[in-house]
Amino acid sequence: MTRSPSARRLLSGATAIAAGLSVALMPPPAGAAALAEPAPPRAEAPPEPALLHRPGVQVRPRPGAPALPDDLSALSWLVADAGSGEVLAAHNAHLQLPPASTMKTLFALTALPRLPRSGTHTVTEAELADVGEGSSLVGLYAGLAYRIPDLWRGVFLSSGNDAVHVLASMNGGWTRTAAQMQARARALGAADTHVVSPDGYDADGQVSSAYDLAVFGRAGLADPDFARYAALTDAAFPGDTDADGTPTWTYGIENTNRLLTGEDGVGRYPGIVGIKNGYTSEAGYTLVTAARRDGRTLLATVMNPQQGGPFAVYEETRALLDWGFAAAGRVAPVGSLLPPPRPARAVTAAPPPTAARPAPAAAPGTGYAWPTALLTGAATAATAWYRLRRRRRPAAAVAPPEG
C-alpha cells in the first residue's frame, strides 16, 4: 500500500515517540545512580532519648572540645543552650533532689500569668500564718497594702516565703497553687518534679531535678516580667504604706544570688541574666542561672555541691558556664529541654476527586509509572495516522505532538 507523504511523516513521528517511551521507561543500569550522584555525607547520630536518664556524666565531645571542669562536686548538674534547648553536658540530670527555693521558678511560671501584674493587695494574718519556721522573709506585715510588683520583688530578690504565701492565697490557695504548679511542670515535660510546698520549703516528697529546673529557667526567660524580676540586683521595699500601697518609707533588699550581685567575695559573672538560688538543710545549696555572651544564652543548674562550703554552688556554676561558652559548636547535644512532641492526631484522608482519572499503572515488576504526557502524545499521533489512512485525498502536514 502506498502512503501519502503526510501519512509517512505522521507514522515516522509516532514510531519515534514509541521509541522514546521505551527508552524513558527502561530501568537505569545497575550502579548508574551511584555513579551519577555521590551519596550525601552521613549525618551525626542524634542522642538516645534515654541518655540523660543514665547516671554519671553525659557529654559527646567533638574534636577540639574543651575538657569539662574536673572539680565539680555537685550531686547533679546540667548546662544547656537556652535558645535551642540543647543540653550540652549533664551529670545525673534526672536525679530527684530537694530543690529549696529554686522551686520558686515554677511558682512564678505558674502564678504570674494568673495574677494581675499591677494593683495592690492588703495582706492578712491568715496569709502569713503558715509560713515555715526559719523561712527566708522579705518582711510583710498584716494590714498593710502592698503593690503586686513589690510582692514579686520580695519573691525573686529576698526569696521571701511570706511573699509566696500571700501570692498563692491570691491565686486561690496553697493547695490549688501546688496542683497548678504540678500541672505546669508536666506540660513543660518536667517529669521529675513533685510539688508539696510552692515556696520550696522542705517537705516530705518534694523533689525536682537539674533537668527540670533548667526547663523552668528557660521557660521563665520567655516571660518579660519573670526575666526582669530575675535580673534585679536590688530594690527599695516598702516598710510601711498608705491605703493605696504607696510606700511611706522603704528599706533596701538585695538579690541573694551572688553571681548576680558579686557580694561576699563571689565575683559577678559576666553577662549574667539571673534566675534563682536556694538553700535548705535538706537540699543544700541549689542554683539555676542564665548568662548571655556573643548573642548566645546558656543555662546552668547545680544542685547540692559536696565540697567547698556555702559558695561552691556559685563557683561550680561559673565553671560550667565558662565551659559551655568555650564548647560552642564543639560538642554534640546529649538531650533537649524541649517537651516531647505530642502524638499526632489521626486524620481521615479526603476521597480523591471523582472527575480525575488515575494514570495507567506500570507493568508489574517495572517499578515505573507511564508518563502521561508521552502516552497522550503517542495516542494522538496514532489517531491522526489512522484517520489519514481513511482519507482518499492527500492531507496537509500535521505537526507532531509535543512531549
Q: Which residues are catalytic?
A: 101, 104, 159
Question: Which amino acid, 243?
Answer: A
Return the exposure string of 58-86: e unless at least 16 CB atoms fall within 10 Å of the residue's CB, then b.
Answer: bbeeeeebeebeeebebbbbbbbbbeebb
The upper half-sphere exposure of residue 183, i.e. CA atoms within 13 Å in the direction of its Cβ, equals 8
Name the residue among 111, 101, 157 with its Cα closest to residue 134.
101
Ramachandran region of residue 143, left (φ > 0), alpha (ψ -120 to 50) or beta? left
Question: Would you state the torsion angle of the CA atoms of residues 51, 54, 58, 60, taken in this order, to the nearest 10 degrees?
Answer: -30
- Distances 374 to 35, 225, 364 between C-alpha atoms, Å: 28, 65, 20
- Which three cell numbers, joined as nine digits, stand for 385? 495516522
- Distances 169 to 159, 302, 336 between C-alpha atoms, Å: 17, 30, 34
Instruction: State whether residue 149 is helix, strand or coil.
Output: helix
How far is CA 390 from its chain centroid? Answer: 73
Instruction: State whether residue 227 is helix, strand or coil.
Output: helix
Name the residue among 206, 209, 218 with its Cα closest to residue 53.
209
For 28, counting Cβ atoms within 10 Å of its Cβ (0-12 exposed, 13-18 middle, 19+ buried), the class is: exposed
Ramachandran region of residue 383, left (φ > 0), alpha (ψ -120 to 50) or beta? alpha
